[in-house]
């Protein structure tokens, strides 16, 4: 579960400090959470009829990292920023998850750092237009979609995936 940062502010209730948050389970359902530092509590977020509120989870964009970034860079090319901003402004999306991936040419440690920095760079663009982020992760070379034995396969593995959590009934 990932807490949505917009709701994660500390509150004081009767002298105790609590941190309420709205989280999403991997299947897209929302859970209210509260943590007092010692114990955490969670319960399903429900609608007026008592039904759990869930999101449709789908991969809504897979971008080739070579198009977004220069080699060994985590700075989004200026020509791509406006296109990503437009993408993150779409209607009906509750929140996004951004996942960075690399090919296997460098060390695992280097690839993990590079993929996280690239995911963070795309996430900053999302936040610049007010998009909610459920998760931002770098997976390095650990989740290939093609063989790293060929140049074409390595190019497919260098990517940024964006997952959309859409409100059910609004897609």
Does residue 117 sit in the same domain as residue 95?
yes
Determine the average pLDDT of the residues in 88-97.
Answer: 90
Q: Tens digit of pLDDT for each residue in 125-143?
A: 999 999 999 899 999 999 9
Q: What is the pLDDT of residue 15?
A: 54
Cα separation of 125 and 139, whole Å? Answer: 20
Cα separation of 41 and 45, whole Å? Answer: 13
Beta 93-101 vs 30-35: how paired, if at all? unpaired
Does residue 63 sit in the same domain as residue 39?
no
Does residue 23 sit in the same domain as residue 96?
no
CB-CB contact of 98 with 122 (8 Å): yes
Q: Tens digit of pLDDT for each residue in 140-153?
A: 999 999 999 999 99
Q: What is the pLDDT of residue 154?
A: 94
Min mean pLDDT across 3-12, 47-56, 93-102 is at 3-12
Q: What is the pLDDT of residue 59?
A: 87
Q: Tell me the whole-structure pTM to 2 decimals.
A: 0.74
Residue 90 has pLDDT above 80, yes or no: yes
The DSSP output letter for 52 is: B
Mean pLDDT of the chain: 86
Does residue 35 sit in the same domain as residue 64?
no
Which CATH number is 71's domain given? Answer: 3.30.1330.60
Does residue 108 sit in the same domain as residue 36?
no
Q: By residue range, what is the domain housing residue 158?
A: 56-167
Does residue 33 sit in the same domain as residue 94?
no
Q: Is residue 36 part of a domain?
A: yes
């Amino acid at each position: 579960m990932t807490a949505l940062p917009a709701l994660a502010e500390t509150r004081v209730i009767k002298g105790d400090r609590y941190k309420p948050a709205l989280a999403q389970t991997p299947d897209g359902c929302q859970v209210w959470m509260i943590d007092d530092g010692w114990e955490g509590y969670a319960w399903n977020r429900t609608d007026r009829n008592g039904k759990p509120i869930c999101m449709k989870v789908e991969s809504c964009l897979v971008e080739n990292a070579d198009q977004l970034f220069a080699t060994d860079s985590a700075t989004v090319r200026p020509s791509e920023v406006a296109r990503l901003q437009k993408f993150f402004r779409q209607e009906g999306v509750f929140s996004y998850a951004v996942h960075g991936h690399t090919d296997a040419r460098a060390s695992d440690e280097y690839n993990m750092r590079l993929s996280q920095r690239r995911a963070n760079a795309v996430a900053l663009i999302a936040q610049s237009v007010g998009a909610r982020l459920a998760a931002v992760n770098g997976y390095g070379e650990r989740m290939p979609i093609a063989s790293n034995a060929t140049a074409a396969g390595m190019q497919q593995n260098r990517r940024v995936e964006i997952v959309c959590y859409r409100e059910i009934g609004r897609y």
